Amino acid sequence: MDLPEKAVRLRIFTGEENRIQHSPLFEVIVNEARKQGLAGATVYRGVMGYGKNSQVRTTSILRLSEDLPMIIEIVDSADKIENFKIFLKETMTEGLITAEEVEIVLYKHNQGKK
């Protein structure tokens, strides 16, 4: 799969405890991205953050949270990202989604070669 030189990076901000039925939301999002053939997805766990309700979530031992911030990044062509945003709007009940144009510098896999 090739990516155009100009692509879109989608960032999805959510909480670790957000679920769709019994599955973590971040897993549902990554699995759907793969199913739709998007170029790739990465999930990051934040060490501290807050959202619209202003409740701070942190890994601090004094205020250890089980609902840490999660960020899912997906990069692909603008048309594939537009289609994926439809899924997100139908699926997500809370969170933040941003999109920005990015320049693809390199996208390749060594296909098992060392």
In tens, the pLDDT along 25-59 reads 999 999 999 999 999 999 999 888 877 776 776 66
Is the pLDDT confidence value at 64 over 60?
A: no
Q: What is the CATH number of domain 6-103?
A: 3.30.70.120
* Strands laid side by side in the 96-103 sheet: 41-45, 69-76, 6-15, 96-103
Please state the domain extents for the chain.
6-103
- Return all residues near 43 (Cβ < 8 A) that are at least 6 apart: 26, 30, 70, 71, 72
pLDDT of residue 99: 97
pLDDT of residue 50: 77
Q: Three-class SS of residue 64?
A: strand
Which pLDDT tens digit goes with each residue over 81-106?
999 999 999 999 989 999 999 999 98
The Cα 84–Cα 69 span in angstroms is: 21
The residue with greater pLDDT, 26 or 1, is 26
